[in-house]
Chains A and B, each alone.
Chain A
């Protein structure tokens, strides 16, 4: 059996997810047994236009990027979006808090008019995405799980329940018991509560669950005397580009 040809691409991002994949250690050897990597800028110079699976990092932020991702979609039979930038817009979404011309001006100064720009979009807001690996950076065991699903043609569903679920299964003491605010209750699981296991809070990097309990959350914040604006700020950090998705979903529900 010939191995599937896999190409890695990046758009607006920090390339941290590529690094994560390149650094996966021994598992990488097993992964390389299963696939044939034909393009991966972080680790090789070869390029290829002939691939079956495209693994895409980063958000879409320019008209040029829109064209490029459409081209990738045309060539790939399977498209995997990985990392927060690609799956939910991630930190790039903060751009959407500002006027586009102001942003352009502040980044490119006098040359701004040569640089066309658009609001930040996650990949699925531009082309069809077959698989999502959320996270900033991606959690390697989940990345491998999604890759296996893609290679064997079965769906992978990003868990739509709170990070708290995995956190409890790992029997961590809750951050709130230590007097620290954590975004676990509103964030999609799937990372095995990676950060909390290592003594950090959950920053909400995987994006909000589809049905967050707004009233309940406000209650919790009030009880812990945490200003709502502070949490909104934190949620904005990763979730801003997802607003169109949420509105679309609400419209469907209203109908």
Chain B
């Protein structure tokens, strides 16, 4: 039985007031419609601008923790000085799905393991996260259940679940407690709210089932044994066009490039960090002209290993949240779920007992 004192209730007709109240103190960003069938996190002046039901946004909320283009240093050649620039502003990210909360948790772990990334840490310190629960699948590309991210596991300040009359909200931090303490907006949760939440979660158990033919626990082994699979040198080599979309939209990718930009004075300038991708042709190209990962298929292998093998070995964490973005955005329609199922089938076939011994 959940501890009722950790929950508060937000009536549906107070939603507007809630968002405008948040807006008085800091920028509020939430999912909004973008184009024909996409969504993006963007500033929302009021609750009516928010798309509460949405498939994962084109870019994950990572862009607020580690912007696509970020000035991290300024320099002056004539004075031979370098100065670190750490900037951040208070932001509330409202309406974050559990898969994306997991993505942020993963980034937090990567960015705070030594050497800690000061730029990331400073932005993070100013970000308030308010999650929202998915009561059904966003679409068929998702694999959040097998990654165990269809339910919240912390990493938020407040987590809202929509019910008939309003949102039951779990307080996840002191900052969340502070928001929830506004009695004009939130009321203490009642036992019937908790009951309704438990019913919703029970129903979810029937909806969210492992989406692939490999268990959470087996995924790592599958990938450790698939290094030499034909999947990479043949299928991926043929199909992938190295557009980089799969990594650029991934909530757990954090590779970046550093670019020094001079001003026209040619003496002062700044160092920018820009998202980079292991799928880009020149990612592994070095000064001599040698390219350590010239093959598209081997670049894809690297991406998959960075999700399902390397970080599990090193940090005990999967680098995939199951958000499905890579599948949705792939120019070549390469599906993460299909890739995994095919690898599993391959492994299965190679293990078939050899008869006539």
Binds B, one of A111-119, A126-134, A210-218: A210-218
Interface residues of A in 175-225 (CB under 8 A from B): 176-178, 184-186, 209-213, 215-217, 219-220, 223
Interface residues of A in 144-168 (CB under 8 A from B): 144-145, 148, 151-152, 157, 159-162, 164-165, 168
* Residue B35 interfacial (CB < 8 Å): yes
Q: A160-B281, A161-B279, A169-B69 are in contact. List 8 more A-B contacts (CB 8 A).
A: A148-B262, A152-B266, A171-B63, A172-B35, A174-B329, A178-B36, A184-B243, A219-B239
Chain A residue numbers with a CB within 8 Å of B249 are 168
Nearest first, the 9 closest Cβ-Cβ pairs linking A and B are: A173-B35, A161-B280, A216-B241, A164-B243, A213-B241, A168-B248, A169-B68, A173-B38, A165-B244
* Residue B37 interfacial (CB < 8 Å): yes
Q: A161-B280, A161-B281 are in contact. Are A148 and B333 (CB under 8 A)?
A: no
Nearest-Cβ distance from residue B235 to partner chain A, whole angstroms = 11
- Among residues of A, the one whose C-beta sits closest to the C-beta of B259 is A145
Interface residues of A in 17-42 (CB under 8 A from B): 27, 30-31, 33-34
On whether the beta carbons of B59 and A168 are closer than 8 Å, the reply is yes
On whether the beta carbons of A211 and B264 are closer than 8 Å, the reply is no
Q: How far is the CA of A244 from the CA of B201 in the complex (A)?
A: 63
Looking at chain A's contact residues, is the secondary structure mostly helix, strand, loop, or mixed? helix
On whether the beta carbons of B58 and A151 are closer than 8 Å, the reply is no
On whether the beta carbons of B37 and A164 are closer than 8 Å, the reply is no
* Residue B261 interfacial (CB < 8 Å): yes
Give 1 or 0 for each of B7-48: 1 = CB within 8 Å of chain A CB.
Answer: 000000000000000000000000000111110100000000
Chain A residue numbers with a CB within 8 Å of B58 are 168, 171-173
Nearest-Cβ distance from residue B343 to partner chain A, whole angstroms = 20
* Residue B109 interfacial (CB < 8 Å): no
Q: How far is the CA of A247 from the CA of B196 in the complex (A)?
A: 68
* Residue B169 interfacial (CB < 8 Å): no
On whether the beta carbons of A161 and B242 are closer than 8 Å, the reply is yes
- Among residues of B, the one whose C-beta sits closest to the C-beta of A31 is B264
Q: List 10 A-B contacts (CB under 8 A).
A: A27-B264, A151-B266, A160-B280, A164-B245, A169-B69, A173-B36, A173-B37, A185-B331, A216-B240, A219-B239
On whether the beta carbons of A165 and B331 are closer than 8 Å, the reply is no
Q: How far is the CA of A191 from the CA of B300 in the complex (A)?
A: 26
Q: A148-B262, A171-B40 are in contact. Are A178 and B245 (CB under 8 A)?
A: no
- Among residues of A, the one whose C-beta sits closest to the C-beta of B41 is A171
Q: Which residues of A contact B (CB under 8 A)?
A: 27, 30-31, 33-34, 144-145, 148, 151-152, 157, 159-162, 164-165, 168-174, 176-178, 184-186, 209-213, 215-217, 219-220, 223
Nearest-Cβ distance from residue B31 to partner chain A, whole angstroms = 12
Interface residues of B in 52-66 (CB under 8 A from A): 58-59, 63
- Among residues of B, the one whose C-beta sits closest to the C-beta of A1 is B266
- How many B residues touch A, CB cutoff 8 Å? 39
Give 1 or 0 for each of B309-345: 1 = CB within 8 Å of chain A CB.
Answer: 0000000000000000000010111000000000000
Q: A152-B266, A165-B280 are in contact. Are A173 and B34 (CB under 8 A)?
A: yes
Chain B residue numbers with a CB within 8 Å of A162 are 241-244
**A168 touches which of B36, B37, B245, B332 (Cβ 8 Å):** B245
* Residue B282 interfacial (CB < 8 Å): yes
On whether the beta carbons of B243 and A34 are closer than 8 Å, the reply is no
Q: How far is the CA of A223 from the CA of B69 in the complex (A)?
A: 33
Q: A168-B59, A213-B296 are in contact. Are A148 and B264 (CB under 8 A)?
A: yes
* Residue B252 interfacial (CB < 8 Å): no
Nearest-Cβ distance from residue B194 to partner chain A, whole angstroms = 38
- Among residues of A, the one whose C-beta sits closest to the C-beta of B68 is A169
* Residue B137 interfacial (CB < 8 Å): no
On whether the beta carbons of B281 and A211 are closer than 8 Å, the reply is yes
Q: How far is the CA of A157 from the CA of B280 in the complex (A)?
A: 14
**A213 touches which of B59, B240, B274 (Cβ 8 Å):** B240
* Residue B277 interfacial (CB < 8 Å): yes
- Among residues of B, the one whose C-beta sits closest to the C-beta of A153 is B266
